Amino acid sequence: MPKNGKIDMMADINEQILEIEKEIRETPYHKGTEHHIGKLRARLSQLRDKVLNQSTKKSGGGGGYAVKKQGDATVVLVGPPSAGKSTLINKLTNAKSKVAPYAFTTVSVIPGMMRMKSAYIQILDVPGLIEGAHEGKGRGREVLSVVRAADLLVIMSDLTRVREIEEIKKTLENNGVRINKARPKVNIEKKLNGGISIHTNIRQDLDNETIKEIARDMGIKNAEISINEKITMDSLIDAFSRSRVYVPAIFILNKADMGAVSDSFSIDLLISASEGVGLPKLQDLIWQSLNFVEVFLVRGDEEPSFKNPMIMKTNNTLKDVALKIGSDFLEDKKRAKIWNSGAKFPGQEVSLNTRVQEGMQVRFV
């Protein structure tokens, strides 16, 4: 299809999205309209997925956006133009992002590496995210592509544009990025035939026919669907969609030296990137939000110490630690001895299913 044909197709999809959004807004929600609204929302999700798929294809190569993930985690700075992201990344890392007092200074991804304890945390400065990003405005498609691959987002604006954060959240939500949300507890086991069966021990507000109808509209024809939590229509559609990503985020406002923010607006931290105010707290928040813990390996002939650190996550076990060292290493390891954090007494012998803790010292036996 010629290029202008693709543009026409995308314009048509965006027009359909606007029409469906309008119909959903104007349709009263009650049991009598539940099926209809479910179908509309499923259709809306599919159209947005089409836009997203086109965006991913277009942003897949070149332009400074094919950034290789490095280090123990990747954090992406997201915000409107001239919010201070370039200044912030220059303060936190070894990056040299161009800083100027006008919009769109950053025209490609600028990577930097932040060292914290023994962790190397990659931080990416991307162009400012603006309204119409999914349509390609302001390098929006490329920014969204990078955002979807992040381990953590730092969403920032400044005191002159506080409400921009809500707009960014809305833009990300409309593009399949779920911020600080857990993946719905819905298991879908597809089959070759037999239609759709619903299994749940939890009383749902949605009836089974509505759930089946939404599933069919999302392309699921034959499946065993197990729902293990109270589900909403939106979270059900999320569970059926293949394009959703779930990313933790921190919300910050820059330029703290300009004044104070209203208590009614929920942010995690107020900083001044240029003055360095709040940056140590921001680093701590990044560490906590990544669920990092530092454990220390103790060799067989050594006394416990804080040498040989490894970066793990709070939900990891000692088996995960051994596996990170290497699958061959894990083969003959059945137990471990631990000191410091988590140990009831020095050198306590524990199973490999023991959860790691910050500062734990471990020797595999």
Token pair listed for 204: 């749902």
Written out in words, the top-level CATH class of the domain with range 293-364 is alpha beta
Question: Which residues, in sequence order, are CB contacts of 326 under 8 Å at separation 6+?
Answer: none
Is the pLDDT at 212 greater than 50, yes or no? yes
Is the pLDDT at 118 greater than 50, yes or no? yes
Is the pLDDT at 280 greater than 90, yes or no? yes
Q: Give me the mean pLDDT over the 155-183 stretch.
A: 90
Please tell me the predicted confidence (pLDDT) of residue 184: 96
Q: Which residue has the higher pLDDT, 164 or 136?
A: 164
Q: How far apart are CA 53 and CA 43, in angstroms?
A: 15
Q: Give me the mean pLDDT over the 190-215 stretch.
A: 93
pTM, whole model, 2 decimals? 0.81
- Share above pLDDT 90 across residues of the chain, in percent, rounded to a whole number: 52
Q: Which residue has the higher pLDDT, 19 or 51?
A: 19
Rounded to the nearest 5 percent, the helix, strand and coil shares of the chain are: 35, 25, 40
Q: Give the residue extent of every domain in the chain.
A: 3-60+184-240, 73-181+245-289, 293-364
CA contacts within 13 A on the Cβ side of 266: 4
* CATH number for the segment(s) 73-181+245-289: 3.40.50.300
Is the pLDDT at 262 greater than 60, yes or no? no
pLDDT digits (tens, 9 = 90+) for 83-99: 899 899 999 997 666 65
Q: How far apart are CA 188 and CA 194, in angstroms?
A: 14
Token pair listed for 340: 């410091």
Kindly report the backbone phi and psi dihedral angles of residue 144, in degrees, each rounded to the nearest multiple of 5, phi listed first: -60, -35
pLDDT digits (tens, 9 = 90+) for 319-329: 999 999 998 88
Please tell me the predicted confidence (pLDDT) of residue 263: 52
Pairing of strands 119-125, 110-116: antiparallel
Count of residues making up the chain: 365
Q: How far apart are CA 59 and CA 195, in angstroms?
A: 37
pLDDT digits (tens, 9 = 90+) for 331-355: 888 899 999 999 999 999 999 999 9
Tell me which residue of 125, 123, 107 sits closest to 64, measured CA to CA. 107
Q: What is the mean pLDDT of the chain?
A: 85
CB of 156 within 8 A of CB of 79?
yes
